[in-house]
Structure formats: structure tokens, C-alpha cells
Amino acid sequence: MINTYVEQLLIEYKNKGAIIDTPLLLLYFIGKYDINRIRTFKRTEIYSEEEFYIIGNLILGHFSKILTTPNILTEISNLSGQLKDKEKFYEKLKTEINILDEKYFPSKTLCENEKFSEFGLTDISIKFLANKEYLIITDDLPFVNFLENKKIPVINWNHIKTMTFTH
């Protein structure tokens, strides 16, 4: 039943677009930079090379557009700044970032959300951007539950991963 629901959301939002949460987008960018770094970089070591290919296929081959916020990109920049060769990574990031459609919301607006103190700027910016128009893909279970309660379309990454690994 979960797979059917996930498949329905993937089909429904194929032409509308999706928002990929920070850790998964970081996985994609690290893998594009150097796939061997996925398992050795502390911010992506929980993921596999196969997961990189899955997220890459979603980003490049499934959705008509991938949306993001400055908050997501700032987190990616800050987290990837821990790489020893961050300058080379940033050069690669400059070219890869062009695939994203970036939308901005003022921080003072985001802070007014009732769940700001629980989820922070980045997650609330994702919620604002999605606003039932775009699909969110994340591996953050508390955030998934929050979004589902708000009737915002979201897929738990583990469901995609399981679905893909078993087909």
C-alpha cells in the first residue's frame, strides 16, 4: 500500500516538480563531485552509492523541475565546507546548481510559522515552498509527520529507497 501511494505521488508531481531536502540534495551533489566520497564524508556516510543513483534519477530524469530555497543551499554550502578539498567541490557545485529552480521567502515571514522553533528556517522554507503545489522528498521522519498532518505532499525517502531496492 505504501508503494502504491508513493507511486501515485511520483506520477502526480512529475510535471509539477519536487523539493529535495538538504541531506538528500547534498548526497546528490557529493556523488556528482566524487561518488567515492559518499561513504567517506561524514555528512553522507549513511547513504550508499545506489541511493545516489536513485536520487540522481529522480532529480535528472523524473521531475520536470527541482525547486529549492536559499536556506537549503546555504546548509549544503555549510555542510560541504567540511570537505578537505572544498574549493574543488564548490567549483563542481557552481555548475550543478543550475538544475535547480530557487525560490526565496523572507526569514521574518518564515519565523512567524507556529512550528518555526521546532523545525527551523530551512524546513519551514520547504513547507512554504511546497504549499501543496510541489512534492517534498525527505528522510526526516518528524518533518514527514508534520507535513502529512498539514496535508502537504511528502514522501519519506526510506519508502522510495525500499521500493526501488525491491524492484
Per-residue pLDDT band for 164 (boundaries 50, 70, 90) equals: low
Residue 166 reports pLDDT greater than 50 = no
* pLDDT tens per residue across span 64-84: 999 999 999 999 999 999 999
Bridge partners of residue 101, in order along the sequence: 67
What pTM was estimated for this model as a whole?
0.93
Residue with cell 554550502: 77
Q: How many residues does the chain have?
A: 167
Average pLDDT over residues 118-125: 96
Average pLDDT over residues 136-141: 97
Report which of 45, 77, 69 is spatially closest to residue 120, judged by C-alpha positions.
69
Q: For domain 2-166, give the fold.
A: Rossmann fold (3.40.50)
Which cell is 150 given? 498539514
* pLDDT tens per residue across span 37-54: 999 999 999 999 999 999
Contact predicate 48/39, CB 8 Å: yes
- Containing 89, the helix (H) or strand (E) segment is helix 86-96
Tell me, what's the pLDDT at 3?
Answer: 78
C-alpha to C-alpha distances, 68 to 22, 40, 82, nearest whole angstrom? 9, 26, 22
Residue 33 reports pLDDT greater than 90 = yes
C-alpha to C-alpha distances, 77 to 50, 71, 165, nearest whole angstrom? 23, 10, 30
Residue 161 reports pLDDT greater than 80 = yes
Mean pLDDT of all residues belonging to the chain? 94
Per-residue pLDDT band for 167 (boundaries 50, 70, 90) equals: very low
